Amino acid sequence: MIKIGHRGACGYAPENTLKAFELAISMGCSVVELDVHVIQGELLVIHDESLERTTNGLGLLTEHTLEYLRQLDAGEGEQIPTLREVIELIDHRAEINIELKGPDTAVPVNSLLLELCARGWSASEFILSSFNHQELALGEPQFRRGALFHYESEHYFEVTSRLQAWSLNLSLGIVNQQVVDSAHEKGLKVCVYTVNEPEDIQRMRVMGVDAIFTNYPDRL
């Protein structure tokens, strides 16, 4: 079962910061997950649309300039990193799951990843995921796609088929054995978020889940 550092090792370091990603790798994560928004043409790694929860800023991301956002403290003196900075930090030591969180993120993410692939990175080092399946469909097909769901649906496999998805990414609260088995029959990986408690980790192992997103990678 693959352990994916959810926003890095965000149980121990400020989420979506270089410190959290470095810690996740040191804890043996073969994949790290992050969230991107685009501000003034730059891809910023941050989860929320607003600033209050994870930084010392106020208001919405889109209300501010890139310069202002880069000056904020994202926790423990860390700044909001760019996607390029995170990729350069990881430097082939782990695969990178990029969640297309903000609107209109697929095209600039494609551009950056294609540039990196032209410089020696491999498409297999990147995974694109999103709850916004229309946005995810805009991802370049050479990058694996993970279709995210936070609600039970009768249409999981219609969506994954339409997206030619690599994985079905489900909330811990909705995953069950039948869905896992059906996904595997269709050649899909099953990745579950966010799995932090030891009993839940073990339950996912028994269920045959392929990967878990966790804030505490050392618990797996």
pLDDT tens, position by position, 193-218:
999 999 999 999 999 999 999 999 99
Segment 110-138 shows an average pLDDT of 98
Calpha distance 135→107 (Å, rounded): 9
Task: Encode pLDDT of 7-49 as tens digits.
Answer: 999 999 999 999 999 999 999 999 999 999 999 999 999 999 9
Active-site residue, 6 included: yes
Q: Which of 37, 47, 150, 184 is catalytic?
A: 47
Half-sphere exposure in the Cβ direction for 78 (13 Å, CA): 23
- HSE (side-chain half, CA atoms, 13 Å) at 184: 12
How confident is residue 133, by pLDDT bands cut at 50, 70 and 90?
very high
Which pLDDT does position 34 carry in this prediction?
99
Q: What is the pLDDT, as a whole number, of residue 134?
A: 98
Which tokens in the block code for residue 52? 């209050």
The predicted structure's pLDDT at residue 32: 98
Domain 2-219 classification at class level: alpha beta
Q: For residue 2, give every residue at least 6 positions away whose Cβ sits within 8 Å of its Cβ, in sequence order, or none.
A: 30, 31, 191, 210, 211, 212
pLDDT average, residue stretch 162-175: 98
**Residues whose CB falls within 8 Å of the CB of residue 61, separated by 6 or more in sequence, listed in order:** 37, 39, 44, 46, 48, 49, 50, 51, 69, 102
Q: Which of 6, 133, 150, 155 is catalytic?
A: 6
**SS3 per-residue string spanning the chain:** CEEEEECCCCCCCCCCCHHHHHHHHHCCCCEEEEEEEEECCEEEECCCCECCCCCCCCCEHHHCCHHHHHCCCCCCCCCCCEHHHHHHHHCCCCEEEEEECCCCCHHHHHHHHHHHHHCCCCHHHEEEEECCHHHHCCCCCCCEEEEEECCCCCCHHHHHHHHCCCEEEEECCCCCHHHHHHHHHCCCEEEEECCCCHHHHHHHHHHCCCEEEECCHHHC
Q: What is the mean pLDDT of the chain?
A: 98
Domain ranges of the chain: 2-219
The predicted model scores a pTM of 0.98
**pLDDT value for 187:** 98
Give the pLDDT mean for 71-98.
Answer: 98
Residue in 98, 118, 125 with CA at minimum distance from that of residue 38 = 98
User: What would the mean pLDDT of 106-131 be, rounded to a whole number?
Assistant: 98
Could you tell me the two tokens for 38? Answer: 């685009």
